Amino acid sequence: MADISKLGISNPYRQRYDNFIDGKFSAPVNGVYFKNSSPIFGKTFCEVARSCNADIELALNAAHAAAPLWAASSASQRAQLLIQIAERMESNLALLAMAETLDSGSPIYDTTAADIPLAIDHCRYTANCIAAHAQTPSALARHVLAYHIERLPGVTAHILPATFPMLAAICKLVPALAAGHTIVLKPAEQTPASIMVLMELIADLLPPGVVNIVNGFAHEAGKHLAASKRLSPVIVTGETGTGLLILQYIEQASPLKQRLSSAR
């Protein structure tokens, strides 16, 4: 295991990370972990849970159990949670920026001045949107009209890309939380750890089961999650090959929303 302190920087990471299910950190059912290395120095700096199908089912069970109460929460309660998350992130900005840099290889200037502040702003912006929400048309710009249509909250799956892992996680978690959905999220296996640092910081703010994080490989945990018939939508950000695989996995199991980018 690499000793990050030898680089002259503070280490935001523990040596091992479990999944986050039902409000607590839980070891993977099969007891297996995989090594996570930093693109900065090419060495392992922590181990992360390698989830199996049973872990996905535990996360789905927790999300379904929490769904009725969270869906019944008021808009003001959900907005307050997002504000609390923003405040917690803001007070730990340097820690989160370093975690993001070590996990993804993004320059520390970018994570400190852009990525993490953008994630914080996203929390606050969405909290304000909840308060202003109405089922009426709104003019976004000239010749652009948005219409808000409510749909029943449910259990949502989110599969993240390897780039901007913490910002990508917030951009998926926050709107889902705002809408009253519960969440099962799988980070990319290339950048699985920074979101776990965030979860350690905000775990006490989240009602048990509302947010569940399961790490692992796309062809294992990702496949079982995408193919589950116990989900409302599956929301994916990734390169084109990932999208094609998800389409194969999902078949007709769940509604699917994709945002695909080409990998070069």
Check pLDDT > 80 for residue 225.
yes
pTM (global) more than 0.85: yes
Check pLDDT > 50 for residue 235.
yes
Mean pLDDT of all residues in 151-169? 91
Give the residue from 228, 122, 217 showing the smallest Cα distance to 184. 228
Task: Express the helix, strand and coil content of the chain in percent, nearest 5 each.
Answer: 45, 20, 35
Top CATH class, 14-261: alpha beta
pLDDT band at 264 (very low <50, low <70, confident <90, very high): very low
Phi, psi of 114 (to 5 degrees): -130, -65
Instruction: List the beta bridge partners of residue 230.
Output: none
Other Cβ atoms closer than 10 A to 171: 17
Query: What SS3 state is found at 156?
Result: strand
pLDDT at 208: 98
Q: CA torsion, points 55, 70, 81, 106, in degrees to nearest 10?
A: 30
To the nearest whole percent, how much of the chain has pLDDT over 70?
83
pLDDT at 256: 58
Check pLDDT > 50 for residue 31.
yes
Handedness of CA 130, 60, 69, 18 (dihedral sign): negative
Handedness of CA 88, 90, 94, 99 (dihedral sign): positive
pLDDT band at 136 (very low <50, low <70, confident <90, very high): low
Phi, psi of 203 (to 5 degrees): -55, -40
Give the residue from 174, 226, 231, 179 showing the smallest Cα distance to 205. 174
Judge whether 155 and 62 are in contact, CB under 8 Å.
no
User: What tokens does 38 get?
Assistant: 């930093």
User: Of 150 and 245, which is predicted with more confidence?
Assistant: 245
DSSP category for residue 254: S
Kindly list the distances between the CA atom of residue 211 and the CA atoms of 15, 83, 163, in Å, as whole numbers in the listed order.
23, 16, 21
Residues 97, 83: Cα–Cα separation, whole Å:
19
Check pLDDT > 90 for residue 263.
no
User: What residues contact 93, with CB distance under 8 A and at least 6 apart?
Assistant: 112, 116, 117, 120
DSSP category for residue 187: -
| pLDDT tens per residue, range 36-91 | 999 998 899 999 999 999 999 999 999 999 999 999 999 999 999 999 999 999 99
| pLDDT tens per residue, range 84-127 | 999 999 999 999 999 999 999 999 999 999 999 999 999 999 99
User: Of 156 and 247, which is predicted with more confidence?
Assistant: 156
